């Protein structure tokens, strides 16, 4: 859709400038005092300030989506500033990767499926309101450029990139369910609006068990898997996705917009690029 | 439905514009360490779920509210999560969304003020009397979920020029402060803040369908 460009106002606006300083954490006591005086006296200024603060909050959500790679949002923010200096390199120690083939991924997600089933049987599902690490034996979270070791009780938040090394595993409890991320996996926690949980599985394998009417979605490079009152395992290897449904039914939507429902006991594997090209 | 839950307030919570710190859970000292017993509990888990969905649907607006007290996004996120947990743990009953949002603002405000004190940032927070006045304005937007505003915002963002969008990306996707952004784009921090104030004005006007 084409739009007219949105010009920035040429004139300066003291209220908007002070609001920006306050909302960005750059205000000093003088700015806060000046803003307080204006807002105390002027109802219209209060309405404008609240509108700016709401906008700031929503921009934060847009930024989180963009950082998590949500396609539409990331595209909007994919811009270059003329002469923009490159981002300083993160001091993240690379870990050796072991690339899993689809067969290895299948074995991994079957193992995870068994783990989920056993969790359901013994009733160990917890009900955390925010995604919280329930079990871990290694791995870390990349948050705002800082590496945080995974530890039981750590609350995850939108934008967190979780890395689980080979041989380790991670269990995350969230509202209405629980998910397990297998070894050699990379996942990003996406914004939690509309649905209680959404994870981008970049590589590796994971499983999820979601109770009742709660929703949980897993996005992979070539599909989005939505679970409600269902359990499934999902594996990603060589940019192909495999889904095995353990309980209930899940919806799988591919990048071309096609959606299908996969029932308990059934599995689905995305087409290779070659298969897609020959259609 | 939230609207089907019986009102149970032990203190007056009469309408959406009731100052949120008058709600029971927010009457304690900063940090919400109230010594009163929790007001009332939901017996129906579906109603509790509905409350949580309401809060998640308004996550952006709630974080915007917290941001007026606590600019640090990580700290604001912690306050949001803690508020969510308290909403569930205390199971406070609300007869409509306005009550719920007032309770949320009261709880979030106390938590955020407590964090600001701990971070020695209390002097850069607006006066409490002003926060009271602002709460009434915030309440006027309680009926709007994030989805509608986010859709409009993304449409307006697409119309911004690449320079403005880059600044938005650096601040909100990469989490850089004004000084760090200034280094990246070769401007002064003051110029960056002025640019953002203009971007906000343009976006706010666009979202209301007005010229900037």
End-to-end alpha-carbon separation of chain A, Å?
28
Residues 10..29 of A with a Cβ closer than 8 Å to B: which? 12-13, 16-17, 19-29
**Which positions in chain A touch B159 (Cβ < 8 Å)?**
3-6
Percent of chain B with pLDDT over 90: 44
Query: Do A130 and B85 make contact, defined as CB atoms within 8 angstroms?
Result: yes
Determine the distance in angstroms separating the CA of B194 from the nearest CA of chain A, rounded to an integer: 6
The dihedral through the CA atoms of A260, A265, A271, A275 has a sign that is: negative
Name chain A contacts of B88, Cβ cutoff 8 Å.
129
What would the mean pLDDT of B4-9 be, rounded to a whole number? 34
Which carries the bigger pLDDT value, residue B157 or residue A175? B157
Give me chain A's average pLDDT, please: 79
pLDDT in the model for residue B126:
94
Decide if B169 and A79 are in contact by the 8 Å CB cutoff: yes
Q: Is some CB atom of chain B closer than 8 A to the CB atom of A62?
A: yes
d(CA B168, CA B181): 10
Contact A193 B149 (CB under 8 A): no
Spatial contact of A139 and A163, defined as CB atoms under 8 Å apart: yes
Average pLDDT along chain B = 77
Q: pLDDT (tens digit, 9 = 90+) per residue, A113-168? A: 555 444 443 333 334 567 788 888 889 998 877 788 898 888 888 788 899 999 89
Per-residue pLDDT tens over the stretch A59-100: 998 888 777 666 677 777 877 666 666 666 544 444 444 444
Mean pLDDT for the stretch of residues A100-104: 55
Residue B64 tokens, joined = 């915007």
Please name the residues in contact with A44: beta carbons below 8 A apart, sequence gap of 6 or more.
Answer: none
Higher-confidence residue of B198 and B9: namely: B198
Tell me: ipTM over 0.85.
no
**Shortest CA distance to A227 belongs to which of A246, A240, A242, A205?**
A246
The minimum CA-CA distance between B5 and chain A, rounded to whole Å, is: 20
How would you label B22-36 residue by residue, b for 16+ Cβ within 10 Å and e otherwise? bbbbbbeebebebee
Tell me the Cα Rg of chain A. 22
Comparing B136 with B26, the larger pLDDT belongs to B136
CB contact under 8 A, B161 and A157: no
B49 contacts A213? CB cut-off 8 A: yes
């Amino acid at each position: 859709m084409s739009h007219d460009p949105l010009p920035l106002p040429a004139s300066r606006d003291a209220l908007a400038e002070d609001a920006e300083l306050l909302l960005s954490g750059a205000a000093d006591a003088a700015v806060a005092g000046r803003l307080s005086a204006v807002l105390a006296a002027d109802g219209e200024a209060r309405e404008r300030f609240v509108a700016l603060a709401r906008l700031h909050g929503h921009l934060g959500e847009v930024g989180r989506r963009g950082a998590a790679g949500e396609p539409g949002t990331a595209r909007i923010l994919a811009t270059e500033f003329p002469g923009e200096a490159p981002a300083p390199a993160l001091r993240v120690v690379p870990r050796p990767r072991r690339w899993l083939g689809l067969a290895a991924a299948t074995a991994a997600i079957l193992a995870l499926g068994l783990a989920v089933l056993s969790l359901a049987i013994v009733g160990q599902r917890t009900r955390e309101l925010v995604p919280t690490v329930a079990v871990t034996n290694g791995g870390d979270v990349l948050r705002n450029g800082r590496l945080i070791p995974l530890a039981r009780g750590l609350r995850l938040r939108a934008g967190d990139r979780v890395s689980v090394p080979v041989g380790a595993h991670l269990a995350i409890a969230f509202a209405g369910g629980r998910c397990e991320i297998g070894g050699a996996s990379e996942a990003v926690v996406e914004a939690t609006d509309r649905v209680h949980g959404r994870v981008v599985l970049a590589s590796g394998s994971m499983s999820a068990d979601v109770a009742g009417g709660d929703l949980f979605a897993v996005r992979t490079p070539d599909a989005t898997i939505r679970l409600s009152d269902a359990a499934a395992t999902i594996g990603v290897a060589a940019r192909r996705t495999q889904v095995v449904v353990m309980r209930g039914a899940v919806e799988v939507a591919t990048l071309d917009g096609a959606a299908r429902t996969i029932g308990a006991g059934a599995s689905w594997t995305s087409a290779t690029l070659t298969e897609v090209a020959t259609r | 439905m939230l609207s089907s839950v019986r009102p149970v307030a032990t203190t007056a919570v009469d309408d959406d514009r009731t100052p949120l710190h008058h709600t029971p859970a927010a009457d304690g000292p900063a940090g919400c360490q109230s010594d009163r017993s929790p007001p009332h509990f939901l017996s129906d888990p579906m109603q509790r779920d509905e409350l949580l969905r309401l809060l998640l649907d308004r996550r952006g607006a709630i974080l915007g509210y917290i941001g007026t007290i606590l600019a640090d996004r990580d700290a604001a996120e912690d306050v949001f999560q803690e508020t969510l947990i308290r909403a569930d743990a205390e199971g406070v009953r609300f007869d409509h969304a306005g009550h719920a949002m007032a309770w949320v603002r009261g709880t979030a405000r106390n938590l955020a003020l407590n964090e600001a004190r701990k971070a020695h940032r209390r002097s850069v927070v607006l006066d409490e009397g002003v926060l009271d006045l602002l709460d009434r304005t915030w309440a006027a937007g309680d009926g709007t979920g994030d989805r509608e505003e986010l859709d409009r915002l993304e449409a307006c963002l697409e119309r911004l020029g690449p320079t403005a969008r880059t600044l938005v990306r650096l601040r909100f996707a990469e989490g850089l402060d004004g000084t760090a952004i200034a280094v990246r784009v070769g401007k002064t921090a003051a110029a960056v803040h002025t640019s953002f104030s203009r971007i906000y004005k343009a976006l706010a006007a666009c979202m209301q369908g007005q010229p900037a």
